[in-house]
């Protein structure tokens, strides 16, 4: 049995993330369900997301609609209270160094299967009628932000909640923000098909309600929202970068 909450689990927040899981685990136990004592960290997220013993994990909207939607059950979507976004939705912050962009900007993307790091950026480039130059896959939003700051890339799109955390914990430069993309459904919580998602969602909702103020503030977690699976699947798949 396995659980993981990797998407916003910065080192500065690991204690808060562990505490949140503790609330969820205890709620599941009170329902008579078993759950792992601790979160799993480190392995390939795809192995976690597709583990048949998965109790709960958070994934990204693009992996969910591209590869996971028929292999896992959608539980709920956390709401981080992001500005300009409906509950449970998020968007991307487009960042660049001050000054005019090159005609074909070099891109830094965290992953080709990232909604916030690539799909939203591809849609934004299309809306701006802008072609792009070489693409560097950095492996993480923080690394994409560093690539822009260090002049190794001209443009990147950062998950808005990650950008908030980078401003808070990593000294990201707020002046680099040049635009925000339209909101899309946020990073969903999933469980294996062996579990009942409604029961897992009830435990997560109870855990959110029980959060102490310090943990809630650290996670920016407002609660969970039920967003229909169709809302995720309705978004187009981006081109190959």
CA distances from 136 to 105, 139, 162 (A): 11, 9, 19
CB of 201 within 8 A of CB of 74?
Answer: no
> Which tens digits make up the pLDDT trace of 56-72?
999 999 999 999 999 99
Across residues 70-95, what is the average pLDDT? 98
Residue 5, pLDDT score: 97
Measured CA to CA, the distance from residue 179 to residue 94 in angstroms comes to 5
Domain with CATH 3.40.190.10 in the chain: 92-182
> Which tens digits make up the pLDDT trace of 126-167?
999 999 999 999 999 999 999 999 999 999 999 999 999 999
* Beta-bridge partner residues of 157: 94
> Domain 92-182 belongs to what topology?
D-Maltodextrin-Binding Protein; domain 2 (3.40.190)
How high does pLDDT run on average in the chain? 97
Q: Is 3.30.2320 the CATH classification of the domain at 2-81+185-233? A: no
* Confidence at 42, pLDDT banded by 50, 70, 90: confident
Measured CA to CA, the distance from residue 118 to residue 110 in angstroms comes to 7
CB of 84 within 8 A of CB of 123?
Answer: no
Helix, coil or strand: residue 32 = coil
Give, in degrees to the nearest 5, the angle at Cα 125 between 7 and 65.
40
Residue 43, pLDDT score: 74
- Sheet with 54-58: list strands edge to edge: 2-4, 54-58, 189-192, 72-79, 223-225
Location of structure tokens 């923000």: 177
């Amino acid at each position: 049995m396995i659980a993981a909450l990797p998407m916003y689990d910065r080192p500065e927040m690991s204690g808060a993330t562990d505490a949140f899981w503790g609330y969820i685990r205890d709620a599941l136990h009170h329902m008579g369900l078993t759950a792992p004592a601790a979160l799993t960290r480190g392995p390939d997220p795809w192995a976690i997301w597709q583990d048949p013993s998965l109790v709960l994990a958070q994934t990204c909207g693009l992996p969910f609609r591209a590869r996971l939607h028929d292999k896992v059950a959608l539980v709920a979507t956390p709401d981080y209270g992001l500005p300009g976004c409906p509950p449970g939705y998020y968007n991307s912050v487009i960042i660049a160094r001050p000054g005019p962009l090159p005609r074909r900007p070099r891109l830094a993307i965290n992953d080709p299967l990232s909604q916030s790091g690539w799909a939203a950026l591809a849609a934004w480039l299309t809306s701006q009628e802008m072609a792009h130059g070489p693409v560097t896959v950095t492996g993480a939003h923080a690394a994409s932000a560093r690539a822009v700051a260090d002049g190794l890339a001209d443009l990147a799109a950062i998950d808005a909640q990650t950008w908030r955390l980078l401003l808070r914990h990593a000294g990201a430069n707020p002046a680099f923000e040049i635009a925000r993309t339209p909101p899309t459904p946020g990073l969903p919580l999933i469980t294996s098909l062996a579990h009942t998602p409604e029961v897992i969602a009830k435990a997560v909702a109870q855990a959110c309600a029980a959060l102490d103020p310090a943990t809630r503030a650290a996670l920016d977690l407002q609660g969970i929202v039920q967003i229909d699976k169709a809302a995720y699947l309705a978004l187009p798949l981006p081109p190959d970068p």
